Amino acid sequence: MLNRFLSHCLLVAAGFLAAVPAFADKPNVVILATGGTIAGAGADAAKSATYQAAKVPVDKLIAGIPTLGDVAQVRGEQVFQIASESFTNDHLVTLGKRVAALAKQGDVDGIVVTHGTDTLEETAYFLNLVVHTDKPIIVVGSMRPGTAMSADGMLNLFNAVSTAASKDARGKGVLVTMNDELNSGRDVSKMVNIKTEAFKSPWGPLGMVVEGKNYWFRLPAKRHTMNSEFDIEKIDALAPVEIAYGYGNVTDTAYRAFADKGAKAVIHAGTGNGSVSNRVVPGLRELRGKGVQIIRSSHVNAGGFVLRNAEQPDDQYDWVVAHDLNPQKARILAAVALTKTNDSKELQRIFWEY
């Protein structure tokens, strides 16, 4: 009799446990959705480039990956629903403050930001600079909408959640999981606009994520997150910084126009080594004399390297060099750094360290 009673209790208990969601003992991951192609939808499965971005809400993104509950207890927030080319500094500050607030919560183990791919690299670098946490923060997008054949968003998002839920991703700065790779939010950039293998770091990925497991091969070398002197909790607005493109036949019109509109710094997206046309140098020196910071970057796309006094006498002109940061990343760092200092020597230190 007693055995039958005990076996009955065991069956009931087993039944109860089976009803408990798969993630009862799983890490807690929050997905902050902002829009982009990963939330895109098109009318034809054969069309991977013709669709509307920022259509699918975060709860549908989560529901679209049934096995997500095997790796984490996931909940979503719809922070924005926009294509990322329309991001502004205010969007960055709002998102950064939400990420920082969640990172401080004891019931949050990791954060995923779903994002359009156009400015994903800027947001990832921004969060890398200003969010003080060692919890994993993963920024993820997709090159094809979920309605297209061989869409990449589902696996990219699964990888992002599994990485956000993993202890081994802690302390590595903001990460980007696209196309099975783990890239540093600082280094990664969109190098191609029509392939799923679109995001590359000039200095290589940090690792790979395969079947929900991370394989690490290198670590970030620059300051980030917990080791950053910048804190989103002390930033309410970014400094106005603009980018002017260098090319043959260029004039200083754009640089002057940006300064006239109040730019505190102009990023020179230079040819080659951040070179500056001799038709533009006098105008940039004049702007520097009026207090505008001039920061030389390079628009070569597979990884530039701008060093002081190599192509231009930066010491003499009191200009800053962006080191290996592309123009859009240099803008982010300058916009953050100028909230703390307008000293060109301090700015140059910051560009070497971050």
When the beta carbons of 118 and 324 are compared against ligand DAS, the nearer one is: 118
* Residue number, nearest CB to ligand DAS: 116
**Residues whose CB falls within 8 Å of the CB of residue 278, separated by 6 or more in sequence, listed in order:** none
When the beta carbons of 9 and 49 are compared against ligand DAS, the nearer one is: 49
Q: Where are the alpha helices (DSSP H) in the chain?
A: 2-19, 58-63, 89-103, 120-130, 153-164, 253-260, 281-289, 314-317, 327-337, 344-353
**Residues whose CB falls within 8 Å of the CB of residue 221, separated by 6 or more in sequence, listed in order:** none
**Residues whose CB falls within 8 Å of the CB of residue 204, separated by 6 or more in sequence, listed in order:** 217, 218
In order, the DSSP letters of 284-301 are: HHHHHHTT-EEEEEE--T
Based on the residue annotation, tell me whether 251 is a catalytic residue of this protein. no
When the beta carbons of 181 and 324 are compared against ligand DAS, the nearer one is: 181
Nearest distance from C-beta of residue 166 to ligand DAS, angstroms: 25
Distance of CA 220 to the CA centre of its chain: 14
When the beta carbons of 50 and 67 are compared against ligand DAS, the nearer one is: 50
Nearest distance from C-beta of residue 87 to ligand DAS, angstroms: 8
Distance of CA 10 to the CA centre of its chain: 49
Binding site for ligand DAS (CB under 6 A): 36-37, 53, 83-85, 116-118, 141
Nearest distance from C-beta of residue 113 to ligand DAS, angstroms: 12
What is the identity of the amino acid at 257? A
Catalytic residue among 37, 117, 147, 196: 37
What is the identity of the amino acid at 251? T
When the beta carbons of 44 and 85 are compared against ligand DAS, the nearer one is: 85
Nearest distance from C-beta of residue 36 to ligand DAS, angstroms: 3
* End-to-end Cα separation, the chain, in angstroms: 71
Nearest distance from C-beta of residue 141 to ligand DAS, angstroms: 5
Catalytic residues: 37
